[in-house]
Copies of this chain bind each other. A is one copy, B any other.
Amino acid sequence: MRILVLGADGYLGWPTALHFSARQHTVALVDSFLRRDLHKQRGTGSLTPIATMPERISAWREVTGTELPFYELDITDYAAISAVIAEFRPDAIIDYAEIPSAPYSMIDREHSIVTQRNNVEGTLNLLWAMREFAPDAHLVKLGTMGEYGTPNIDIEEGWIDITHNGRTDRMPFPKQPGSFYHLSKVHDSDNIAFTTRIWGLRATDLNQGVVHGIETPETALHDTLVNRFDYDEIFGTALNRFCVQALTGNRITVYGSGNQRRGFLNIRDTLQCVELAVTNPAARGEFRVFNQFTEVFSIRELADTVARCMRSMGRDCEIAHLDNPRVESEDHYYNPSNKGLLDLGLKPVYLSDDLLASALSVVSRFAGSSDARAMEPATTWR
């Protein structure tokens, strides 16, 4: 298949591009390097020493003999992205090309607007370009489990059958997102659903949990293919932060009680899920939603797991509870469904102590160059 990966320089975009390329698909890459720029502005960066895109592409050519065409452009530029879609004629467009940070969107007014404008207008451009140049292509859009919030009922996959006053309809599952970033993803989902209805586009919304892991079989083939690893308060995940804190002898910082429960999955499962979505496309006019995670943990359980692994490696590790900078429920029901991708054949890689120990050993090669200040929670929701 012909697969266009948007955000192909990113933590998931890069391994996704390699994954499909290794499986003999024709892959093209798009990125604007916005993430690298934002890191530069903030004085932060990936813990792992990621190569430039030209270096990455020539390493992949060296290892596999395969060329990866790359387009440096921002999908908020319609002329640029529509020209690529018209030229490349993708069967599937995998869209990771968004600002993916809740704290970034909460810094101040400007950041809330930049996040929503960038994400929503990029997606709108994509939809109009598909209508014009690739109406039969399949949009595989990365959403987030954070779109749902933490309702007191089971979370279904995008749609829910509601019976009310004796009548029944299949309705969009109500969303209660927890940041301006998460809101931008809800706006996206609503805009996409509309265009499947009026233009008959095909789309899959992957509401993804928090991804852990660094390496994939393809990024491990060459040092220059190394994947990015964000651990700062803006772009890093809690688990990444915990790993770096533990390995540098700092306290693991949990926001609030840590009883907040979330969906998680390994990066290799992200690749499986996206491949399952791409190779089993949505129908024309279908807005298909999968919840893309494999297990649920509380943040406290994650912290405990990291501490346990450290102790088994003979190192002490302290857990500290900070005042929660976010506004979120800390004790809540959480039972999301993830049936759709399992039914398509997903075979999860669960977060075992062994898996975490191996992740810790990768991180430990670079932990010495980490910046403790970058992990302090400077952004508050209030």
A78 to B111, CA, bound (A): 13
A172 CB-CB contact with B under 8 Å: yes
Q: CB < 8 Å: which of B112, B124, B165, B327 contacts A154?
A: B165
Chain B's closest residue to A200 (CB) is B382
B160–A154 contact, CB under 8 A? no
B124–A116 contact, CB under 8 A? yes
Given contacts A109-B128, A116-B120, A124-B109, contact A168 B190 (CB under 8 A): no
* Max chain B Cβ within 10 angstroms of own Cβ: one of A151, A167, A194: A194
A164 to B172, CA, bound (A): 14
A163 to B173, CA, bound (A): 13
A186–B180 contact, CB under 8 A? no
The interface residues of chain B lying within 8 Å CB-to-CB of A191 are 116, 180, 183
Given contacts A183-B191, A198-B327, contact A172 B174 (CB under 8 A): yes
Oligomeric state, in number of copies? 2
A361 CB-CB contact with B under 8 Å: no
The interface residues of chain B lying within 8 Å CB-to-CB of A315 are none
Q: CB < 8 Å: which of B117, B154, B199, B327 contacts A117?
A: B117
B121–A113 contact, CB under 8 A? yes
B120–A199 contact, CB under 8 A? no
Chain B's closest residue to A128 (CB) is B109
A144-171 toward B: CB 8 Å interface, digit per residue (1/0)?
0000000111101000101111011101
Chain B's closest residue to A150 (CB) is B169
Chain B's closest residue to A164 (CB) is B153
The interface residues of chain B lying within 8 Å CB-to-CB of A175 are 172, 190
A250 CB-CB contact with B under 8 Å: no
A125 CB-CB contact with B under 8 Å: yes
Min CB–CB distance A156 → chain B (angstroms): 8
Given contacts A121-B113, A327-B197, contact A169 B183 (CB under 8 A): no
Can you list 10 A-B pairs with a CB-CB distance of less than 8 A? Answer: A108-B128, A109-B124, A116-B121, A153-B162, A153-B167, A171-B174, A178-B194, A183-B187, A183-B190, A183-B191
